[in-house]
Amino acid sequence: NAGVTQTPKFQVLKTGQSMTLQCAQDMNHEYMSWYRQDPGMGLRLIHYSVGAGITDQGEVPNGYNVSRSTTEDFPLRLLSAAPSQTSVYFCASSYSANRGPSNQPQHFGDGTRLSIL
C-alpha cells in the first residue's frame, strides 16, 4: 500500500514548456485534489475531483488542467508554464467526498518541486 504517489519529485522547466505532474493513489479514494504551496501563503487548492469523470476548480485554477479518467489517477497539466507557477505541488486524497461529518483524513503525497525559468 503506497498511499499517494507523486512523480516527479523535482522538475525544472523553461517558460512556455508543457508538463504533466502525476498523482496516483492505491486506496480506492473517491476524492482527490491538487494544491500548490508558496512561502507565506500556505496551501491553495487548484483543482479537485469527487470521483472518476468529475472535476471542479479550486481557488487558483488558471493555467492548470486536470482530468480523472480512473479512480486511481489525477494528473495535473501545465499547458504553457510561467515563472509564477514555480511552487511545490501536493496531491491529496481521501476516502469519501461525502459532505457529512464522518470525515476521513486527507492523505498527502510528498510533493513535486517545480521551478520554471
Partner 1 sequence: AQSVTQLDSQVPVFEEAPVELRCNYSSSVSVYLFWYVQYPNQGLQLLLKYLSGSTLVKGINGFEAEFNKSQTSFHLRKPSVHISDTAEYFCAVSDGFSGGYNKLIFGAGTRLAVHP
> Which residues form the interface with partner 1 (CB under 8 A)?
4, 31, 33, 35, 40-45, 48, 50, 56, 58-59, 90, 92, 94, 97-101, 103, 105-106, 108-111
- Report in angstroms the alpha-carbon separations of 110 from 53, 63, 94: 25, 22, 15
Nearer to partner 1, 17 or 61 (CB): 61
116: cell is 520554471
CB atoms within 10 A of CB 78: 20
| CB 97 to partner 1: min, Å | 5
CB atoms within 10 A of CB 96: 14
Nearer to partner 1, 78 or 90 (CB): 90
| CB 111 to partner 1: min, Å | 6
